[in-house]
Homo-oligomer: A and B are copies of this chain.
Amino acid sequence: MIASTALRKRLSKSMATLREVAEYARVSTAVVSRVLNNKPGVWASEETRQRIIEAAELLKYTPSASARALSTGRAMQLAISTADASLQSGSPTHLWQLLGFTDAAGAAGYRVVLMASTEVQPDAEDFESLLRSNAVDGFCLFAEQLTPPVRKALLTSGIPFVAVGDPGDESIPQVDIDNFAYTYESVKWLAEQGHRRIALAEFAEYEGGGAVPPHHAKIRAGYRAGMAHFCGGSEDAWEPTTRTKSTDERIAYVSGPDSPTAVILPSLLDTVVWEASFRAHGIRVPEDVTLLAHVSSMETVYLEPGLAYHAHDLRAMGHRAGRLLLSWIESGVSPASRILIPADPPQWRRLTTDPSFSAPTERNDQ
């Protein structure tokens, strides 16, 4: 086949093989392999050792990934599925987790392969066939992807995998934000600012039939625990949703005499929308209403001055997931652990060109 022949020629021109290095250094391939891989028990004459290293450098030797994979049975590759609703919709949240995961993999010499999919739910068969092809050594999944069939396929195959987020099953290796403590601390901080009537605005995707996602349950639990401890309890009306509300409804939430004086919001976009609604109607932020944004630490720069924020590091989260997965792969035994990432303490977004601004009762302790 012509293409094949041409290919080989091109490759043999630019690629240095282990054999070539060995010939150049006048030793056998085995020694080269052992020296370059730092195998123990090689007190090779320090002189030949240098000769080998120099030869490899001179010839720009790079081991063939496929040959090594074939020989060792390890592809040195990790897979991550894109069959996720948030990711498909462009969520930076998942992108940061993905990047953090990739960092961890790269630092350990692993590559990350993206599993193609336009679906929002993964197909178990995709995992199985990729697994059988021996192209990857482990999987990373976002929590929502861990449907019963996928979970079963992964567990029975014995392949290492890790979940990012809260899959609602503590027995599988996972890394998540500590959502309970996170929201609890948000409430605590707002209480320290003098607030007692604090609202928690959440997404409402699951309204109308869907089940409450596990991480939302934890957020609510943390909120209620905080309210009970620091504010003498809360009311159901203080848990509005973010997406079903119009500007008028948002205004109404904070206008009554017993209405909340602070609102915890779950995303940057919601924060911008709520803030716009308030400012457009003469409600001052933070003087009249304090908005506490739950955001990623990468997003804080986009927050308007006068907002409070409580940030978590999603990239670190993905990184941690990668390391957990790698520990499984390299030890061969499932860590069976559940890692919760703590958040930084809440803060005010102070940077402003308006020198008259000052956040009320500033506090910034650990």
Q: Which residues of A contact B (CB under 8 A)?
A: 3-4, 6-8, 10-11, 14-16, 60, 62-67, 69-70, 72-75, 77, 82, 87-92, 95-96, 98-99, 102-103, 105-107, 111-118, 128-129, 132-135, 157-158, 246, 269, 272-273, 275-276, 279-280, 296, 298-299, 302, 332, 353
Contacts and interface: CB of A to CB of B under 8 A. Distances in A.
Q: Which 4 A-B pairs have the closest CB atoms?
A: A106-B116, A90-B92, A276-B276, A66-B69
A353 to B, nearest CB: 7
A352 to B, nearest CB: 10
The number of times this chain is found in the oligomer is: 2
A157 B280 CA distance: 58
Contact of A113 (B16, B111, B128, B273): B111
Given A82-B99, A158-B10, A276-B280, A67 B70 contact: yes
A134 B74 CA distance: 16
Contact of A4 (B16, B72, B299): B72
A299 B332 CA distance: 43
A362 to B, nearest CB: 24
Contact of A134 (B15, B102, B118, B279): B15
Q: Taking each of A66, A95, A103, A158, which has the highest tally of chain B beta carbons within 10 Å of its own beta carbon?
A: A66
A332 B116 contact: no
A88 B299 CA distance: 12
B134 A11 contact: yes
